[in-house]
């Protein structure tokens, strides 16, 4: 029996692997448009959603994806579970293992938690966001959304704007975009830039300078706590320099796309007018999320472990 397949970070996949999931996701997007939005592919498989961090959209998205594939879903969120009784991640993992789950989707505030989990259990592990580290399915759904709107991504330019330093979305996103041959700009005040530059990306502190160069402007959520940490002098100043508003969008290329992983702070990093404009692909990202997570679950769980011949 071959080793179980996992998705811990986007670089678990080479370009071919990404292409394959994106291609499969197209078929699942079609399934989600059917009158009966369900296929029997993962019937009898169990997927556990293990969420140690509050999250609505990612958990709902994974839950709907698993259910649309006819898998059974167990939802475990830290606030309502025996985490409050002090149960460790390891004990919870071993409990799930003993119950025979086939896959564990984990969201955890500590970077690396999914890697620990993989060592402890035999089930397939999917990283749904660990600390400031990685969020591979977000990167895949972003690629999917960009492809649907822009076609081939080779040579296109994307800017990630905002709190890059604390963003797992940006960290996985940059790798994914680079793998697809995109030019990547990181736009942030120096205090919110990553300490060591990532290979093949350009750092820019001015959003106004970056906008006219972009095919995709990817806004990140600005957490209000950053102000208390002294990373930004004030939210007002941050907003003045880094908010994406209609005036700034006037300098964008025709056909440029605005994206955001959600949840948005309307009025902080992005204005409501921009978020709801036709060039914003934010709801498309949510729709793509279900199809891409179906494709990921199906790719990891759908086939035999060692391959085989049905004859």
Q: Could you say which of 24, 58, 92, 124 is catalytic?
A: 58
Count the site residues for other proteins by CB under 8 A: 27
Cα–Cα nearest to 33, from 3, 2, 68: 68
Tell me: does residue 31 bind other proteins (CB under 8 A): yes
Collapsing DSSP to helix, strand or coil, 131 comes out as coil
Q: Could you say which of 118, 135, 221, 226 is catalytic?
A: 135
**E strands within the chain?**
46-51, 72-77, 103-108, 124-130, 157-161, 183-187, 201-204, 216-219, 257-259
- Please state, in angstroms and rounded to a whole number, the distance separating the CA atoms of residues 55 and 172: 18
- Please state, in angstroms and rounded to a whole number, the distance separating the CA atoms of residues 28 and 65: 9
Tell me: does residue 151 bind other proteins (CB under 8 A): no
Q: Which stretch binds other proteins (CB under 8 A): 27-35, 78-86, 245-253, 282-290?
A: 27-35
Tell me: does residue 310 bind other proteins (CB under 8 A): yes
Q: Is 74 exposed, middle or buried (CB count within 10 Å of its CB: 0-12, 13-18, 19+)? A: middle
Tell me: does residue 302 bind other proteins (CB under 8 A): yes
* Contact pick of 8, 18, 28, 292 for other proteins (by CB under 8 A): 28
- Please state, in angstroms and rounded to a whole number, the distance separating the CA atoms of residues 240 and 244: 9
* Contact pick of 11, 12, 14, 30 for other proteins (by CB under 8 A): 30
Q: Which CB atom, from 40 or from 151, has the smaller least distance to other proteins?
A: 40
Q: Which stretch binds other proteins (CB under 8 A): 26-34, 196-204, 257-265, 269-277?
A: 26-34
Does the active-site annotation cover 168? no
Does the active-site annotation cover 58? yes
Residue with token string 């793509």: 288
- Please state, in angstroms and rounded to a whole number, the distance separating the CA atoms of residues 253 and 69: 39
Tell me: does residue 267 bind other proteins (CB under 8 A): no
Cα dihedral 248/252/255/257 (nearest 10): -60
Interface pattern 34-53 for other proteins (x via CB under 8 A): xxx-xxxx------------
Question: So which residues are the catalytic ones?
Answer: 57-58, 85, 107, 135
Residue ranges in contact with other proteins by CB under 8 A: 20, 23-24, 26-28, 30-31, 34-36, 38-41, 295, 298-299, 302-304, 306-311
């Amino acid at each position: 029996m071959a080793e179980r397949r996992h998705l811990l970070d986007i670089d678990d996949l080479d370009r071919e692997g990404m292409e394959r999931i994106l291609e499969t996701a197209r078929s699942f997007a079609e399934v989600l448009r059917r009158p009966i939005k369900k296929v029997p592919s993962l019937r009898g498989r169990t997927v556990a959603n293990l969420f140690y961090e509050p999250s609505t959209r990612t958990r709902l998205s994974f839950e709907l994806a698993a259910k649309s594939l006819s898998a059974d879903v167990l939802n475990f969120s830290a606030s309502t579970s025996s985490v409050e009784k002090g149960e460790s991640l390891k004990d919870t993992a071993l409990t799930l293992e003993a119950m025979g789950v086939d896959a564990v989707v984990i969201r955890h505030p500590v970077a690396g938690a999914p890697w620990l989990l993989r060592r402890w259990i035999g089930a397939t592990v999917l990283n749904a966001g660990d600390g400031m580290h990685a969020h591979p399915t977000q990167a895949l759904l972003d690629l999917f959304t960009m492809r649907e709107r822009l076609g081939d991504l080779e040579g296109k330019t994307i800017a990630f704007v905002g709190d890059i330093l604390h963003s797992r979305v940006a960290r996985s996103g940059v790798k994914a975009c680079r793998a697809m041959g995109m030019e990547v700009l990181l736009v942030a005040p120096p205090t919110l830039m990553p300490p060591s530059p990532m290979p093949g990306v350009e750092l820019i502190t001015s959003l106004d300078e970056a906008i006219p160069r972009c095919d995709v402007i990817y806004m990140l959520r600005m957490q209000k706590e950053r102000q208390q940490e002294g990373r930004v002098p004030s939210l007002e100043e941050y907003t003045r320099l880094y908010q994406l508003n209609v005036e700034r969008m006037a300098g964008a290329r025709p056909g440029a796309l605005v994206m955001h992983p959600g949840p948005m702070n309307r009025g902080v990093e992005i204005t409501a007018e921009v978020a709801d404009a036709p060039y914003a692909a934010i709801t498309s990202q949510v729709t793509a999320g279900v199809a891409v997570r179906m494709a990921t679950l199906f790719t990891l769980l759908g086939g035999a472990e060692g391959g085989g011949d049905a004859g």
